[in-house]
Structure 1
């Protein structure tokens, strides 16, 4: 699900102050899951951070009683602000290619100089834009309410427009000269739901795959296949060139987030707080459920998958087993997704905090989400064209049809809880993993317990709890209406 949509439905509130506030930790070795620094921006943040050339790029929503949001460039090592530029409301992740920051800003798309923040060009889009720009081979691809648009990256001039009557396009993913977008129309039983494949050069439709439920998030691509989840609670693998379905599997709840494919595994966030891991070739691997909902996409660095919840907790899990390695209690009440660069996890969320958390590794996010620059990325994405099969993420051939995962098959863990940094969070023994053989293994969490944010800021527990519940009700209501 696009970040702005999720925060709006959850009732996210912008909490504004006049300038960035920075807290650093120095003079001691940090454990995994401890913050190196934390900064507070002027509003809520609706997209995963983008980390390129030692800078963290992010955009905030508008401050209370002001008409503008802000794009920030923050030093990745220290948390110091390099520059900030006022723009209209920023809902999603910036994309940084060729020293240029591309960002959607309400009903416009803007290009900013990555070194100074100065505006290079601006293009009005004629309506609200809530998707992140994807930049490939000198072209900016953008999803809109009923269109997919391709713009010249140097000038902002329109190359082509793809339109259907009821298309509600997600952030585009571009691979093999093809633009893949999910569609979640606001019209019951619309024929424009599912996934569209569009020629990146001409804007012509190549194929359309109708899924069982609407697709609210960007598809991802690996092993010449498209992977996506839908609102009806299914995960899909679809042939990228023909549009034929290779396999599908039920999940424990609706899927509103972009899947991530890495190390031969498809990681899918379900709304009920369950992270599912499917083998890319077919078959379930493991499922782990957390307190709260999963309102952010997973990211993978090395052999660790990172996922944030609407309780404001970031979890680091073993990619092969789902066992918890450590967790971190964010100053945000709802996280928008993490991006890992050189062993540091960068995250943000509804309360406007950008945080750098030590992971004690030398890895960066390598999964499909960041490798294609669709929703927060690192230096690994430079806007170069990628062909089908060029990056397979350990794909291999299809072997078996995954079995559906039902809510009753996922262990919820114990009810024991402890209060951490002003918010409730599961203790180290409350998370459990369900393996593909149906057994359940307790996770001891002995590596490191959750830590407070570096600036010691307490969370806004009551507000976030109400917002999370209200957002879930809206999402569930829409899902039930379309069933």
Structure 2
């Protein structure tokens, strides 16, 4: 099973793949015509799965782009599917979650939820998490049986992010922060529960500008905290923090245990992607409508790139950002509304972020790329899915 089985590759929404050499240059291997603009693709060992705004889900051979099967639904399937060991799971816009056989497309079960679905699913430890217009629901992945539902006042915005205690122990997450470095901007606004350090959690953002932390197995509220606007693409969990960007142009890093604000970073336009974080490089990347890939440090949320006289807000692109950033080893890939896809060098401390390569796909990028070890898959607004592959001069770590 590929590691890139859901939106941004994993339940944390890290958007990072380290088991490959970053591409120095890319070439187009194939293009597949679909029935409508695609969403974000996902991968298993030899298949790429992608949904479309017209309600179709496609299974294509990764190497050739040949169609294996297509399933039609009664609503949009514009968010990333999830592929697990036992099934392929779709969030359909009409408010249903469907489980399919990944090999044939045959339906295994269908569960109707309380509201329409416009957010990617999350899969972790046998549970599916579905954000919808009425809240967040957890389902058994094997049967589709609802486990719990947490109601929200407004629709869930973007993909849920799941953080298991076992993952934190392996990676050293959740340590007590240095209080002198915390911007306590939201301490008075965050509502917290005690004793959340050892719990499995799922984080979700809402259209009303709220981030909510829930106990992953029960849906019990652990904390909630405000943002300035509707959350974009959902939270990202990294290094003991929860990063969220919103449509009002505010990036916030919350302490994952408490909901306290670690830092905020504000721009004059809307953010249009979720953050991608490289803790070892002390770098956070997030796309915006102003046509920049914004780059901040992870300690204070300050601009990281330096100009001749002043710091730079980030890497200038040709148009508004249309995909969340993803990282293959030390190359960050991001697309914009003009159809440009970029490879940005984020090696070391990511202090330069020079442009490594550029590909013009002619139509606006649709969705976030999926990364394999030697290729990426990305859709465009003209209803096409592209495979771009590489042979790198870089060596894997």
The alignment's TM-score, normalised by the length of structure 1, stands at 0.63
Structure 1 match to 2:46 = 54
Aligned with residue 248 of structure 1, among 264, 268, 271: 264
Matched-pair contact (CA < 8 Å) for 1:35–1:356: yes
TM-superposed deviation, 1:146: 2.5
4+ aligned runs moved over 6 Å, structure 1: none
Aligned with residue 83 of structure 2, among 75, 92, 96: 96
TM-superposed deviation, 1:84: 1.6
Structure-1 separation of matches of 2:204 and 2:299: 22
Aligned with residue 62 of structure 2, among 70, 73, 76: 76
Structure-1 separation of matches of 2:393 and 2:158: 32
Aligned with residue 319 of structure 2, among 279, 292, 300: 292
Query: Which ranges of structure 2 fall in alignment gaps of 5 or more residues?
Result: 1-22, 165-199, 306-313
Confirm or deny that 1:202 pairs with 2:218: yes
Query: Deviation per CA, 1:19-56, whole angstroms, max 9, x where unpaired?
Result: xxxxxxxxxxx9923201111111111x2211211211
Name the CA shift for 1:194/1:285 in 2 (closer, same or farther; >3 Å): same
Structure-2 separation of matches of 1:110 and 1:348: 22
TM-superposed deviation, 1:252: 4.9
Name the CA shift for 1:39/1:160 in 2 (closer, same or farther; >3 Å): same
Structure-2 separation of matches of 1:166 and 1:211: 14
DSSP-derived class of the 1:351 partner: coil
Query: Deviation per CA, 1:418-457, whole angstroms, max 9, x where unpaired?
Result: xxxxxxxxxxxxxxxxxxxxxxxxxxxxxxxxxxxxxxxx
Structure 2 match to 1:347 = 378
Confirm or deny that 1:110 pairs with 2:98: yes
Query: Deviation per CA, 1:122-147, whole angstroms, max 9, x where unpaired?
Result: 11224321011111111110111121
User: What root-mean-square deviation, in Å, do the aligned CA atoms of Structure 1 and Structure 2 show?
Assistant: 2.0
Matched-pair contact (CA < 8 Å) for 1:332–1:352: no
Aligned with residue 297 of structure 2, among 262, 276, 279: 279
Q: Report the more deviating stretch, 347-356 or 79-88.
A: 79-88
DSSP-derived class of the 1:201 partner: coil
Count of residue pairs brought into register by the alignment = 321
> What are the within-5 Å matches in structure 2 for residues 218-237 of structure 1?
218-237=234-253
TM-superposed deviation, 1:148: 0.6
DSSP-derived class of the 2:228 partner: coil
Name the CA shift for 1:235/1:199 in 2 (closer, same or farther; >3 Å): same
Structure 2 match to 1:311 = 338
Structure 1 match to 2:174 = none
Aligned with residue 108 of structure 2, among 103, 120, 138: 120
Structure-1 separation of matches of 2:215 and 2:356: 42
Structure-2 separation of matches of 1:248 and 1:90: 33
Matched-pair contact (CA < 8 Å) for 2:42–2:81: yes
Aligned with residue 284 of structure 2, among 266, 271, 289: 266
Name the CA shift for 1:361/1:83 in 2 (closer, same or farther; >3 Å): farther
Matched-pair contact (CA < 8 Å) for 1:252–1:270: no
DSSP-derived class of the 2:103 partner: coil
Confirm or deny that 1:184 pairs with 2:207: yes
The alignment's TM-score, normalised by the length of structure 2, stands at 0.77
Structure-2 separation of matches of 1:316 and 1:121: 40
Structure-2 separation of matches of 1:233 and 1:86: 37
